[in-house]
Structure 1
Amino acid sequence: MKKICLTFLFAFILCCQNSEKHSYTFYYWRTNLSLNTTEKETLNKTNTPYLYTRFFDIEKVNGKFQPIAVVTKDETFKTEKEIVPVVFIKNDVFYDITLEEIHFLANNVFSLIQKKQKDFGFKIAHEIQIDCDWTAGTNKEYFTFLTKLKEISGKQITCTLRLHQVKNSKLSGIPPVRKVYLMCYSTSSPLENSSRNSILDVPTLKDYLKSVNKYPIKIDVALPIYSWGIVTNQLGKHKLINALSSKDLENPNFKKIGQDKVQVLKDGFYFGNYLNKGFTLKVEAITDDQLNEVKAFLDKKLSDYAIVYYHLDGKFVSDHKF
């Protein structure tokens, strides 16, 4: 009996250690910074001092670089976390860009980051993260931008890493940073006709990451906790509605036709979109079982990594255990 109890105690301790193995925090990806009670409580429970916060996007508009959807803040956004600025840059920004333009872009990105940090009184981290789905055709220019931004800012520059950039690393190139954040989601397009979960299909992810242990830069991991709805019309064309959950499908004007899938029975506005009778709506979400399977896979590939969950939203965090 004593031996059984000791065995159970050891298994329990081991289970607890595994659940606490990885430090974690969140991305914040809304345009207006605000925190409700659930989000504050969830953020306060994280065991790292950082919150990865999207500041703005960069696009090329009429041949000029433009910051898009620059972040604003209300009085509810109060945190002791150090704010790590994240800037999303569209890949086509780096097509046909000159060295002079790269320097101009790096200077202006850092200047706008500094302005927002000062305006909002953030507790500033010693890191800036750049999010870009670079390709073999833009890697030279993008990597030059990262190097220049580090030189200008004096900060640690990190960047995101997509699944195809791991699998095809020889073609994509290795960014000149000390750490990357592996985006373990967007395994396929939500606009394809597929039965797979386009946010996270674990078999597809494992195939992309067969050799992730050989990647030559320190890797931390971004895991998804978000959900969305995919609308399909009678012609088979698709449209995304962000932040939908299975609970949103509980509507007398919807007929259930599958797991997390309904058919619209009556024309009308739903979730800010006009949907016609006959349209179908499928919700894709992430379960803790999926996340645990990904973590178990990565534990065998990577010696150590922190987790950044995408993203901090009361609608998502209440459905998960961290």
Structure 2
Amino acid sequence: MKKIWLLMLLVSLLIACSAKTEKISTAFYFWRTTFSLTQTEQQYLKDLDVKKLYIRYFDVALQNNEAIPVAPVVFNQKPSGYNIVPVVYIKNEVFLQNGAADSLALKVYNYIQQINKSADVSVNEIQFDCDWSLKSKKNYFQFIEDFKKLHPNLSATIRLHQIKYPEKTGIPSVKTGVLMYYNMGVINAGDDNSIYSQKTAKNYINSLQNYNLPLNVALPVFSWGVHVRSNQVTNLIGGLRVNDLKGDQFEKTRENRFKVVKDIVFKGRYLAKDDEIKIEAVSADQLKEMMHDIKKNSKHKPNEIIFYDLNENNLKAYEKEDFKTVSRW
């Protein structure tokens, strides 16, 4: 009798625990200029039950004071079986100098349509990625209003500082925002991780409760190496991780820091003797920490967790179960 009672108690506890967690849809950003998925990427997407991809279609930048599309994506493979959301990254400079929001909206819309046609895809949602400023928000928000006349279902990326100061920065008139929960600091030669800092995030995260726009969440799974020479940042080496620096050309000085032993050419870059490489990345535990803090400070559950960005090396840095755990609410 006692064993039966204990068994019933255990079952009840398991049911109670499972009821407290709810799976959130998982999506990925695709940020390369050529769309083609490796077998590993396709298998991860299948195993994680990913149905939606946010694909960067092109950037918009200024050239001779004219807004032009830059580095458009080329589809070498049709994105069959996925709900595709075109993402257009618009540099803030465009809205600082370009007040013709209506004509820009039409140009951007037509260019998106051209890419959709070439890729043989139809889209329901379009997303704009712009870190607007106080001086550019009027033009950016007007651009969104004009674009909604062409395509009403829009989403927009939102930075942490825009969450904390909505009265100043404004809130774009879109259906959904995406909280970009990364790039929280200045890239420097010190020990700080510019991609993620819980201490920095906590200065902003409690403002989530008062932000008047439904938000999904974008989390970082990318990495880079900060090339440091004479205690000054020289450049970034994208995609670099600790495992890439295990040869005899590098000497590990700290957990994520390496000294160059001799002059070399590494991944197409010249590294001088005594240069340093600082690896910045986000661990699986930190991803879980991020979601814990977001959940603690949010009034509503996000509909999606979007990982940035879809790349075989990024995927292999984590276990598949890590992605599944992070996507539970």
What TM-score do you get using the length of structure 1 for normalisation?
Answer: 0.92
One-letter identity of the residue aligned with 2:60: I
In the TM superposition, what are the counterparts of 1:85-234 in structure 2 within 5 Å? Answer: 85-98=86-99, 101-122=100-121, 124-152=122-150, 154-190=151-187, 192-234=188-230
Q: Deviations over 1:224-277 (max 9, x none)?
A: 111110010025233111000111011111011100211001111112211101
Q: CA, structure 1 residues 210+90, in 2 after alignment: closer, same or farther (shift >3 Å)?
A: same
Deviates more, 1:299-308 or 1:23-32: 299-308
Q: Does 1:237 align with 2:222?
A: no
- Aligned 8 A contact 1:50 1:125 in 2: no
CA RMSD, 1 decimal:
1.8
Deviates more, 1:7-16 or 1:154-163: 7-16
Q: 3-state SS of the aligned residue for 1:188?
A: coil
Q: CA, structure 1 residues 14+189, in 2 after alignment: closer, same or farther (shift >3 Å)?
A: farther
User: Partners of 1:246 and 1:14 in 2: how far apart?
Assistant: 40
User: Partners of 1:5 and 1:271 in 2: how far apart?
Assistant: 58
1:41 maps to which residue? 43
Q: CA, structure 1 residues 267+81, in 2 after alignment: closer, same or farther (shift >3 Å)?
A: same
User: Partners of 1:133 and 1:205 in 2: how far apart?
Assistant: 17
1:262 maps to which residue? 258
Q: CA, structure 1 residues 265+2, in 2 after alignment: closer, same or farther (shift >3 Å)?
A: farther
User: Partners of 2:65 and 2:50 in 1: how far apart?
Assistant: 40
2:311 maps to which residue? 313
Deviates more, 1:278-287 or 1:193-202: 193-202
One-letter identity of the residue aligned with 2:306: V
Deviation, 1:155, is 3.5
Deviation, 1:213, is 1.2
Q: Deviations over 1:126-182 (max 9, x none)?
A: 100000000111111100001111112x34011000011111211111111121000
Q: Deviations over 1:31-80 (max 9, x none)?
A: 111100111112223445321000000000111111111111213x5430
Q: 3-state SS of the aligned residue for 1:212?
A: helix
In the TM superposition, what are the counterparts of 1:57-68 in structure 2 within 5 Å? Answer: 57-68=59-70
Structure 2 gaps, min length 5: 324-329
Q: CA, structure 1 residues 179+275, in 2 after alignment: closer, same or farther (shift >3 Å)?
A: same
- Aligned 8 A contact 2:34 2:76 in 1: yes
Aligned counterpart for 1:31 among listed residues 30, 33, 40: 33
Structure 1 gaps, min length 5: none
Q: CA, structure 1 residues 295+230, in 2 after alignment: closer, same or farther (shift >3 Å)?
A: same
Q: CA, structure 1 residues 235+223, in 2 after alignment: closer, same or farther (shift >3 Å)?
A: closer
Using the aligned pairs only, state the percent identity. Answer: 34
2:81 maps to which residue? 80
Q: 3-state SS of the aligned residue for 2:215?
A: strand
User: Partners of 2:64 and 2:255 in 1: how far apart?
Assistant: 44
Q: 3-state SS of the aligned residue for 2:162?
A: helix
- Aligned 8 A contact 1:249 1:260 in 2: no
Aligned counterpart for 1:288 among listed residues 270, 284, 287: 284
User: Partners of 2:102 and 2:199 in 1: how far apart?
Assistant: 41
User: Partners of 2:135 and 2:25 in 1: how far apart?
Assistant: 35
- Aligned 8 A contact 1:88 1:131 in 2: yes
User: Partners of 2:275 and 2:5 in 1: how far apart?
Assistant: 60
User: Partners of 1:160 and 1:247 in 2: how far apart?
Assistant: 32
Q: 3-state SS of the aligned residue for 2:149?
A: helix
What TM-score do you get using the length of structure 2 for normalisation?
Answer: 0.91
- Aligned 8 A contact 2:226 2:233 in 1: no
